[in-house]
Amino acid sequence: MKKMKTISAALLAIIMTFAMSASAFGETLPGAEAAGQDAEQTVTMDAGEAAARAVTDPAAQTEEPTQPPTGESTEPTQPTQPTQPATEPTQPSTQPTTRPAAPKINETAALNIALKNAGLSKSGVRIIEVEMDDGKSVEIEFIRLSNKAKYGYEIAVKDGRILEKSVDYKYKKSKSRKKIGKKKARKIVAKAAGKSYSVVKKGRCKYQYKKKCGKYEIKFRSGNYKYEYELLAKNGKIIEYEYEYIGIR
């Protein structure tokens, strides 16, 4: 038994010596090589599992900071300047503003002006003509139903001014040569025209007997108008009158 222990100890020493020698020359014992392979396989499996987990698990991925493209500046972008308008803003004019033209008078408005001047309504007259003349004036004619007097008007389109007015009354002719006198005839005309006697007196007063009827014809001017009246010489009745605007139209 003691001899066998001695042999076993010697054998163990040889084996140890041999193992140490093999290790020194880079050789691996079969058992040691197997252990190394197991360790390497374990490390490889751990690395693969980690890579797979990184792919399937977004939380496990580590985001790398994005590098700017080569050649591009890393300085912050400057804000773009606002585009200037192609044209300069219009400056307010220092010239006085021209007043808009007054609305023009149409045919209906002109007729109303004429009726108002005559003191009549549309139902009291028979309209003969209401016509625009060259776009500057409206010519109007109507007959008063109550006494058959004929009225004629010319109304300015731009401002409604009465440019001309005429009235012809119906009357009975008389062969009488009786006369009321020029002075009285002028006073009748001055009152009818709303003028002073002195204004009418400056005009012309003429007596004439024509077509078996004696008449006074009186003409005068006042302001921008000229007037003409005809009266029966025997009683001073006005049978016709007209006035016309002679100012700038």
Mean pLDDT of 166-195: 94
Contacts with 98 (C-beta within 8 Å, 6 or more apart), sequence order = none
Q: Phi first, then psi: give them for residue 204, nearest 5 degrees.
A: -110, 140
pLDDT at 248: 84
For residue range 30-48, list pLDDT tens digits in order: 444 444 444 344 434 444 4
Between 18 and 124, name the one with better pLDDT: 124
Can you point out the beta strands (E) in 54-157?
A: 125-133, 137-144, 150-156
Percent of the chain with pLDDT over 70: 59
CATH dotted code for 173-249: 3.10.450.40
> Is 0.75 surpassed by the pTM of this model?
no
- Delimit the domains of the chain by residue range: 102-170, 173-249
pLDDT at 211: 84
Residues in a beta bridge with 227: 220, 243
For residue range 197-221, list pLDDT tens digits in order: 999 999 999 999 988 899 999 999 9
Mean pLDDT of 50-75: 46
Q: What average pLDDT does the chain have?
A: 77
pLDDT at 102: 54
Structure tokens at 223: 């302001």
Same fold, 102-170 and 173-249: yes
User: 102-170, which class in CATH?
Assistant: alpha beta
